[in-house]
Amino acid sequence: MREKLKNTESIFSRLFHGAFILVSIAFLSSCSAHRKECIVDSQWKDVRSGQGGCLVVYQDRLLVVRDRASGKLKVPGAHADLGEFAQCAAYRVTLEQTGFEVIVKRLRLRMPGNFNIYECTLAQGRSPDLSEVEKFSYFANSQISEVLWVNPDEVDDSDWLYPDYSRQIKGVYDLNNERVNKSAEPTN
C-alpha cells in the first residue's frame, strides 16, 4: 500500500512540475511576443548594458513621471531586461511608464549606477497630448502616479527623485532646447 501511495505522489509531483514548466514557458513567450521592437535612430546605435532612460523634449517641455512611492519627479527609465541594451530599455520603459512611443537617439548622460540617459523624440505621428496617451502598463502604474510635461527650470531641485541629477538634466535640457530652437529659426 505504501509503495502504491509513493508512486501516486511521484506521478502527481511530476505532473505538477510539468504543468508549472509549461505555464512558465507560455508566460515568458507571451511577454516577448507582445514586446514592441526597440526604435533606435541607426546613426546613434549603442550597445551599452545597464539602465536606460529618456530625455524627451517637446517644444519647451520635458517628459517626466512622478514616482508613486516618493511623489518625486524623474525621467522615464529603469533597469534593462536580461540581454537588453540600455538604449532599448530606455525605449521600452518610456513606453511602459508614459504610453509614448519614442525614437531613441544619442547618449546624453551617464549617471552613477550605470544609468544611461538618451536623447529621445516622440515617434513620428505621436501627439504630445497626455489625454491621447494609452494607459500605461499595470507594472508601471504600480510605480508611477502621473505623467507630466514640465519646464525643468521651473521645478525645484527638491522635487526631483534624484536632486543631484537635476542640474545635469537641466543642462542637457537647455542644450537640447537651444539646438531645437536654432533649427526652427528661419534662414535668410
Check whether residue 120 and residue 88 sit in a common domain. Answer: yes
Quote the pTM value: 0.71
pLDDT number for residue 45: 79
Bridge partners for 146 per DSSP: 66
Check whether residue 80 and residue 119 sit in a common domain. Answer: yes
Check whether residue 140 and residue 171 sit in a common domain. Answer: yes
Check whether residue 66 and residue 134 sit in a common domain. Answer: yes
Domain that holds residue 3: 1-34
Cell reading at 94: 518610456
Check whether residue 55 and residue 26 sit in a common domain. Answer: no
Check whether residue 23 and residue 52 sit in a common domain. Answer: no
pLDDT number for residue 19: 45
Three-state DSSP class for residue 133:
coil
Q: What is the pLDDT along the chain (188 residues), one digit of tens a residue?
A: 556 555 555 655 555 544 444 333 333 333 333 456 888 877 777 787 889 999 999 888 999 999 999 999 999 998 888 889 999 999 999 999 998 999 999 999 888 888 899 999 999 888 888 876 666 666 567 888 889 999 988 999 899 998 877 888 888 777 666 654 443 343 33
Check whether residue 6 and residue 73 sit in a common domain. Answer: no
Check whether residue 82 and residue 23 sit in a common domain. Answer: no
CATH code of the domain in which 174 resides: 3.90.79.10
Place of cell 533606435: 40
Total count of domains within the chain: 2
Check whether residue 2 and residue 64 sit in a common domain. Answer: no
pLDDT number for residue 24: 36
Check whether residue 165 and residue 133 sit in a common domain. Answer: yes
pLDDT number for residue 119: 92
Three-state DSSP class for residue 170:
helix
Check whether residue 28 and residue 75 sit in a common domain. Answer: no
Q: Residue 96: CB partners within 8 Å, gap ≥ 6?
A: 136, 137, 139, 140
Three-state DSSP class for residue 123:
coil
Check whether residue 90 and residue 9 sit in a common domain. Answer: no
Q: Do strands 73-74 and 51-58 pair parallel, antiparallel, or not at all (unpaired)?
A: unpaired
pLDDT number for residue 188: 37
